[in-house]
Amino acid sequence: MAIFEGAGVALITPFLENGDVDFDKLAELVEEQIAGGTDAIIVCGTTGEASTMTHEEDEQVIAFVCEKVAHRIPVIAGTGSNCTREAVAKSIAAEKAGADGLLLVTPYYNKATQKGLIRHFTEIAGCVKIPVILYNIPGRTGVAMSPSTIVTLCKEVPNIVGVKEASGNISAVAELMHLADGCVDLYSGNDDQIVPILSLGGKGVISVLSNVAPRQTHEICEAFFQGDVKESCRKQLEALPLIQALFCEVNPIPVKAAMNLMGKNVGPLRMPLTEMEPQNQERLAKAMREYGILD
């Protein structure tokens, strides 16, 4: 059984003006997401700015979110690293904190071979009992998992159950699902490809859009699963201008700007990320107004 089906939010991490994690705001965001129909919370991922958080902060945020969610919906912790030992330690800590699953990104910068990827993920998964979702995002990491590598891992490692696919390569995703023969739980890593991924047998999306439109993102998936593909597609296309605006600068710069425009006061970004350019913020605000989430 999949860890979740539907729309999981790739949750931002709110910061205070001094750069510390804003745990009070984080608690508010968790409750808003659950009330908005989000199907899972993914914490300490790319959108959560985990790359600029310390190991201690990672552990604190994951434990805090697990406690606040209290098993109402699944919590999936981002514990990937380009150092296998570090990823093992982070994954063990997340399991102890109560995470329901892990999201493991491909090792960045090292550019491991496919053999190296198999050994890396096998080592990490073998140190925990909770299920693992792989994360294929070559545009950020510089290395892509081949469809056959993903299938090998899902077939040979009992608790590796699926993949978040953010390569944007629909042909590769189709090849993956052809080879998988049902053994891979597939999630879209791109908000503009939810319906295409679902049509290939996907279980849902791990979504940036859900930070600002949790109900609407959930409904894209819900309509598809209920057999109303036309309505699902309509909702996907309706959201497209906003999705494009949310990625007109590198994620999570726009989504944090959007949440601040909505009055959520999620605070600043951590360097080296910088605040959104004024012309792009205007574009974002316009898309938000047209989508009906900003007055």
DSSP symbols for 101-141: EEEEEPPTTT---HHHHHHHHHHHHTT-SS-EEEEE-HHHH
- Contacts with 104 (C-beta within 8 Å, 6 or more apart), sequence order: 78, 79, 80, 87, 91, 121, 124, 125, 132, 133, 134, 135
How many angstroms separate the CA atoms of 17 and 174, rounded? 44
Other CB atoms within 10 A of residue 141 CB: 21
Helix (H) or strand (E) holding 75: strand 75-78
Residue 71 has φ and ψ, to the nearest 5°, of: 65, 20
C-beta of residue 289 within 8 angstroms of C-beta of residue 265 = no
Coil, helix or strand for 258? helix
C-beta of residue 183 within 8 angstroms of C-beta of residue 154 = yes
How many angstroms separate the CA atoms of 113 and 279, rounded? 41
Q: Is 291 a catalytic residue?
A: no
Q: Among the options 135, 187, 203, 264, which is catalytic?
A: 135
Q: Is 135 a catalytic residue?
A: yes
Coil, helix or strand for 200? coil
How many angstroms separate the CA atoms of 262 and 277, rounded? 17
Q: Among the options 90, 164, 235, 264, which is catalytic?
A: 164
Active-site residues, by number, are 135, 164
